[in-house]
C-alpha cells in the first residue's frame, strides 16, 4: 500500500511539474501516462486478488490452483476491500476499450475525440480514488 502511494505521489508530482512548467503533454505522452496508470493499478489489483505474477494475457486461462489461491486471497479481505476491488474491476472493464480506441487514434497520427479523453480522465480519477 505504501509502495502504491509512493508511485501515485511520484506520478502526480511529475504531472504537476509538467503542468506548472507550461509544457503541454502530447497525445502520445498522454496515452503513455494513461496506460502507465492503468497497468500499475491493474498489477496492484492482481496482487490483491492473489494473482500477482500471473501475466495479464493469461487471466482468462487460470489453472484450478490459481483460482483457489485467488478465492482464498479474496476471502481474507474485508467487505470494504472486496467492494473496492469490485469497483476497480468495473473501471478496468470500462477503461480498457477506451484506452485501446484512443491509442489507435494516436498510433495513426490522429487526435482522439475529446469525449473519449474525458471518459478516460474520469475513469482514471475513479481508479486512483481522486475526489
pLDDT, tens digit, 9 for 90 and up, residues 18-77: 555 555 789 999 999 999 999 999 999 999 999 888 887 677 788 899 899 999 999 999
Residues 38/96, Cβ–Cβ less than 8 Å: yes
Asked if residues 101 and 112 have their Cβ atoms less than 8 Å apart, the reply is yes
Distance (Å, rounded) from C-alpha 39 to C-alpha 18? 21
- Cα(28)–Cα(112) distance, integer angstroms: 10
Domain boundaries, the chain: 26-51+63-128
Q: Please give the pLDDT value at position 16.
A: 59
Q: For 90-129, how does the pLDDT look when each residue is reduced to its tens digit (9 = 90+)?
A: 999 999 999 999 999 999 999 999 999 999 999 999 998 8
Amino acid at each position: 500500500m505504501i509502495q502504491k502511494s509512493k508511485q501515485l505521489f511520484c506520478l502526480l508530482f511529475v504531472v504537476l511539474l509538467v503542468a506548472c512548467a507550461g509544457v503541454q503533454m502530447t497525445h502520445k505522452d498522454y496515452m503513455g501516462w494513461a496506460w502507465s496508470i492503468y497497468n500499475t493499478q491493474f498489477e496492484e489489483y492482481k496482487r490483491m486478488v492473489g494473482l500477482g505474477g500471473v501475466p495479464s494475457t493469461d487471466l482468462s486461462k487460470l489453472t484450478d490452483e490459481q483460482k483457489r489461491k485467488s478465492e482464498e486471497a479474496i476471502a481474507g479481505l474485508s467487505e470494504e476491500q472486496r467492494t473496492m476491488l469490485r469497483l476497480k474491476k468495473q473501471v478496468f472493464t470500462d477503461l480498457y476499450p477506451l484506452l485501446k480506441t484512443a491509442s489507435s487514434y494516436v498510433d495513426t497520427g490522429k487526435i482522439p475525440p475529446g469525449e473519449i479523453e474525458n471518459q478516460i480522465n474520469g475513469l482514471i480519477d475513479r481508479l486512483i480514488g481522486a475526489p
